[in-house]
Amino acid sequence: MSLVLHFPGRLAAARLAASLEEVLQAIPLLAGGLVEREDGRYGIGPLGQAVERLAVREISSLPEELDEPLALRELVPRLLTGLGQPVLAAQLTLSPQDSVLAVTVSHAVADGFGLFTFMRAWSRAAAGKPFETPPTDRRLLSIEVPAPTAPLTPEDVWRRTGFTWSPRHPRRLDAPLPTGFGTRIVPPDTRALAGDEPLSDNDVLCAWLAKTHAGGLAGPQGLAVAMTVGYRQSHGGLPRNYLGNAFRAAPLWLPREVLERESILKLAARVQQATRSVFDGQAARDSLACLEQLLREQGPQVVRELHLADPRQGVLVTNISRLPFGIIDFGQGPADWARLPAQDDRAAAIQQAEEDLEVSLLLPPAD
């Protein structure tokens, strides 16, 4: 997961580097790296070597289109995600007139809200202001798992978490991140599409994506749509400023004939029903219990077999339009451009552009 911010003028590299160290000392989770614990599970521990936290690069001019994949490859830092590697990297690119600050953080330690929480703390530290240290203890998500009546199946995991357990398609945990960047898409006006129907922008855009890009995403049988739903507020007992991952996905299976027959409005109604069905504390806790049961039954290596989107016939849709990354200010005024581009195959990120919503979509390679 990467955030790219553009600022008019040149940011002070030395001040950014010093304030980043200050914040990472307060939030050691983000200063660490991936480790394998004695029980075989993965966790975050101290790094065994010094690392460059903020890379600084001088160029004569910035690319005209900052959100083009070729430009992002030059502006966004990559993470080596194997054992002992950092979980956060930052790069400051300076031209004579402006600056781009890009941060990449492993999804193992934070989600979009957690990234915003970190960036807000860093910007306040850079401006010489006090910042809040967010809680990061994963035990805040601990939950008692009832005795299972039967072993979990991939269908159980999909229904209870929105994620895909696919033993035949293991992931590489040591693949560098980001693996790629999505293409910017400007969707049609959601209010015009919805008309008088009581549908949200998210409902309409998820349906529009499924309908218009089924050719590149769906399998022969249909499309598995996973829509992220945060549960900081609904979990119960979880601080709202928790920095770690606090989301599950709402699962929606759309058979081929439904994709082809139904209108965007009818598909949007299905999206609305699917997301509303998991937007409560019980759904959050059930998702956590399911994942814990899966770890106990299959062992820690099962994380390689878990996918946010079905690797054969799925798409993950994340809506980050309500996260106000544009207010981030490192002491010289707020960012005038902020994007979180999609970085995984079969991923879509809905976000706020200057005035309207836009989508970053990364389609899988054509067969």
Task: Render pLDDT for 262-300 as a digit per residue (tens, 0 to 9).
Answer: 999 999 999 999 999 998 889 999 999 999 999 999 998
**Residue 67 vs residue 121, higher pLDDT:** 121
Question: What pLDDT, on the 0 to 100 scale, is given for residue 283?
Answer: 92
Name which of 191-195, 208-212, 285-289, 361-365 the model is least confident about.
Answer: 191-195
pLDDT for 202 beyond 80: yes
Task: Render pLDDT for 180-192 as a digit per residue (tens, 0 to 9).
Answer: 888 888 888 888 8
**For the chain, percent of residues with pLDDT exceeding 70:** 99
Neighbouring C-alpha atoms within 13 Å toward the C-beta of 180: 13
Handedness of CA 302, 274, 242, 326 (dihedral sign): positive
Chain-wide mean pLDDT for the chain? 89
Q: Which domains does the chain have, with CATH numbers?
A: 2-137 (3.30.559.10), 140-362 (3.30.559.10)
Q: How confident is the model at residue 367 (pLDDT cuts 50, 70, 90)?
A: low
Q: 86 near 47, Cβ under 8 Å?
A: yes
User: What does the buried/exposed string (b/e) look like for 283-308 if buried means 16 or more CB atoms within 10 Å of the residue's CB?
Assistant: bbbbbbbbbebbbeebeeebbebbbb
**3-state SS string for 204-223:** HHHHHHHHHCHHHHCCCCEE
Q: How far is CA 13 from the centre of its chain?
A: 27
Report residue 76 as tokens.
């966004």
Rounded to a whole number of angstroms, the distance between the first and last alpha carbons of the chain is 26
Q: 203 near 272, Cβ under 8 Å?
A: yes
